[in-house]
Amino acid sequence: MSAEKTPAQLGYRMPAEWEPHAATWLSWPRREGISFPDSFDKVLPALREMVGALTESEAVCINVVNGAHEAEARSALDSLPRQECITYYEIPTNEPWCRDHGPIFLTRAAKAGLAIVDWDYNAWGNKYPPFDLDEVVPTRIADLLKVPVFYPKMILEGGSIEVNGAGTLMTSESCLLNRNRNPNLSRDEIEQRLRDFLGVTEILWLGDGIEGDDTDGHIDDLARFVAETKVVTVVEENRDDANFKPLQENLGRLREMKIGPAKRDKLDIVTLPMPRRIVREELRLPASYANFYIANKLVLVPTFADPADNLALSVLEKCFPSRRIVGIDCRELIWGLGTFHCLTQQQPISYITDDNSLHR
């Protein structure tokens, strides 16, 4: 760690996902990639529907490898309306999971402007090499946007953290404390880096993730902030399901947690159902309604042609009364072991002036 000031010392913080966006970033999948084996064409309808919905809400920035890759993406998307909202950037990636390899954006009130945190990246514990292109994406985007970039020298994926924008961060022990990420860092050292580089003061720890989650338990499949003191968390009602016990334990932890300056505020907890078990080629897939993405005007929610779909959508409608809830069938997309939150990364507006005009 250098003696230079940390983002927190400079007044930066990571905004909550529901705060205003300038854009949503995506990394277009590669046909030869490993994320959608033998099913690349089958995921295109969900990707097209996702981008089409996002352009109703905000600008969409899409990373592509080269001109040929851009042409392939355009062949899937050029029939959509609002093409002026889509911009392609030649920023090569290995895989499409922009939440995990993309930049974590910071803002600050005292001085206008964005900054980016470039965490180290090792494809979820060196599970899926190569990841050399993914690893440098945040700095490539920082160069493009001409914003400062900070290097915590710690491995972290964006899907492993969840913030309320007011100083509290939620994560899971099974992921962030896994020895395949930062074996030389203690829990206290990891917490300090989160505070220093994301501008948070409180760290809330859940336990284990859901079955089939190859990320070792990302928080965005488990529990999400929907307001400063309000959390939605998934629960499994079937006692015979492998997810029943870990999700009940996480629910118990959330019920005991208190946040705020004096740690007096209990969390307002809303439960989301889990879809039925989805198995493909003898592999359980990590289907979760918690993997939704909050855009400016809408919330993208994965659905699975499941009896619980409508209940999940109804729960989220109550959490986001000012946003349209958009459910999109993700039965093919989940074969890549992730859905909308895993694919997206929000770029917040840089600041709001006294007259409430938005500046990028």
Say how far apart CA 161 and CA 218 lie, in whole Å. 8
Rg value, the chain, Cα = 19
Which of left, alpha, beta for 76 (phi over 0: left; psi -120 to 50: alpha)? alpha
List the 104-107 sheet strands across, edge first.
104-107, 114-117, 149-150
The pair of three-digit structure tokens given for residue 39, joined into one six-digit string: 């099913």
Q: Is the peptide bond before 92 cis (omega within 30 degrees of 0)?
A: no
Active site residue 342: yes
Say how far apart CA 91 and CA 64 lie, in whole Å. 6
* DSSP state string for 145-165: HT--EE---SB--GGG-EE-S
* 27 burial level (CB within 10 Å; 0-12, 13-18, 19+): buried
* 201 burial level (CB within 10 Å; 0-12, 13-18, 19+): middle
| Residue entry with tokens 């899409």 | 62
> Catalytic: which of 61, 175, 319, 342?
342
Residues that are catalytic: 342
